[in-house]
């Protein structure tokens, strides 16, 4: 049975054909986001265009393959019971009922938060009984995983809200201890006075050290604060930031000696795989 995994990001849509929990084919399509200044009426129009864009790319990707199941990872809030995505300011889209929007495929459709999907996809391939998943890309996501009798379970949303609150730096409006790849890139671009791709910071051997060390220090503070509340020692890093782990992982391990910090085995593809393993029970 072939499953279609969809990873909806702020700058891309990831599509993967899955068999036996392994990707047999995948593609990433860049999505050019419109300005956030659009009012609610125009946002509904943009949402319809987004759905058409998604369906067009699904059709081009699956071609003649019969899809028996669709799993979707979405940023932000979702109604997992009814496959409803509540929308995203980053994407400039409003609520999407995916069962209705993708009804032409005549198959089961499940959704969850994109970080939850990444955590589930990673949990299948590692031997940890519990770990904290952190996806770092355009935004930052958190998910807690526990395995019981080889069954993967996700924590309830309340635990994640607690982590999000802990991760916010006090007396600031938007600053976080563990911040996004996008935020790190913005700091680097401000230093260089240029608009460069995110990975550019890792190609610059002379100008990135101070920024990276600052990022690692803040990351360390965030992990220690989160651990005080939820008592977790196994930390998995996923998202696009995980593709550059050779530039920061050793430094993180030195700073966080009492933790086991590791990179998602499927890097940014974990979300596509995990989406096709939905639905998952909560603990």
pLDDT tens string 224-281: 999 999 999 999 999 999 999 999 999 999 999 999 999 999 988 999 999 999 999 9
As given in the structure block, the two tokens for residue 237 are 């890093």
First to last CA, the chain: 29
List the beta bridge partners of residue 142. 134
CATH 3.30.420.40: which residues of the chain? 3-113+271-275, 126-264
CA 28 to chain centre: 14
| CATH class for the domain made up of 3-113+271-275 | alpha beta
**pTM (whole model) above 0.85:** yes
Sheet bearing 3-8, strands edge to edge = 22-30, 12-19, 3-8, 69-74, 108-113
pLDDT of residue 167: 98
Q: What are 163-173's pLDDT values in tens digits?
A: 999 999 999 98
**CATH assignment of 126-264?**
3.30.420.40
pLDDT tier for residue 68 given thresholds of 50, 70 and 90: very high
């Amino acid at each position: 049975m072939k499953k279609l995994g969809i990873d909806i990001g702020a700058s891309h849509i990831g599509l993967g054909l899955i068999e036996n929990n392994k990707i047999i084919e995948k593609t990433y399509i860049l999505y050019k986001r419109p300005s956030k200044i659009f009012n609610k009426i125009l946002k509904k129009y943009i949402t319809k265009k987004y759905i058409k864009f998604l369906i067009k790319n699904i059709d081009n990707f699956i071609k003649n393959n019969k899809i028996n199941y669709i799993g979707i990872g979405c940023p932000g809030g979702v109604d997992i019971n009814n496959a409803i995505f509540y929308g995203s300011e980053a994407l400039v889209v409003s609520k999407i009922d995916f069962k209705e929007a993708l009804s032409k495929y005549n198959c089961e459709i499940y959704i969850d938060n994109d970080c939850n999907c990444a955590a589930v996809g990673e949990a299948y391939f590692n031997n940890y009984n519990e770990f904290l998943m952190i996806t770092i890309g355009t935004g930052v996501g958190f998910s807690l995983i526990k395995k019981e009798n080889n069954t993967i379970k996700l924590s309830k949303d309340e635990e994640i809200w607690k982590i999000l609150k802990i991760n916010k730096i006090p007396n600031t409006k938007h600053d976080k201890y563990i911040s996004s790849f996008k935020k790190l890139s913005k700091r680097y671009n401000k230093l260089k006075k240029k608009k460069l791709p995110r990975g550019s910071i890792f190609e610059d051997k002379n100008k990135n050290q101070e920024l990276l060390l600052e990022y690692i220090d803040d990351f360390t503070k965030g992990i220690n604060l989160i651990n005080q509340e939820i008592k977790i020692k196994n930390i998995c890093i996923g998202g696009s930031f995980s593709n550059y782990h050779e530039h920061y992982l050793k430094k993180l391990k030195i700073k966080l000696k009492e933790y086991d910090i590791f990179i998602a085995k499927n890097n940014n593809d974990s979300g596509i795989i995990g989406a096709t393993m939905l639905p998952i029970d909560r603990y």
